[in-house]
Amino acid sequence: MTSQPKMKSLAESYLRFLQLAKAIESHPTAPPIDANEGALLNALSLHWMAGKPLAVREAMTLDTLGSPSTLHRRISRLKTMGLIEDKSSPGNLRIKLLVPTQKTMSFFDKMGASLSKSMK
């Protein structure tokens, strides 16, 4: 019989967060996205949060997340699922910026609540 290793508070909090996040991601109301779509959604949302949302053309240059054609398919899928939407660029109406929807922000709220809960 092996005993569980004694964990430090932060490590334990992080592992608890992973457990809670997994539970949220597998819940029937969570968006049905795979890890690659999730990474793209996170990247797009981080750019948006920094006040620099990406246009579709810019998003397709995120080569660590896939080839341009793969990224285009993932962007289309995230749009179809209602997780991102196009917003016209203030300076050029032909440029469509990718921004998270309220559905995505609600999902991030649940993830944030899990993080907060794991820290208690």
Residues of the chain with pLDDT under 50: 1
- The ranges assigned to domains in the chain are 33-104
pLDDT of residue 72: 94
Q: What angle do CA 39, 40, 42 make, to 5 degrees?
A: 65
Q: Which CATH number fits the domain 33-104, given the four candidates 3.30.70.20, 1.10.10.10, 3.10.20.30, 3.40.50.2000? A: 1.10.10.10
pLDDT of residue 2: 53
pLDDT of residue 7: 57
pLDDT of residue 40: 94
| pTM given for the model | 0.77
Please tell me whether residue 98 adopts helix, strand or coil conformation: strand
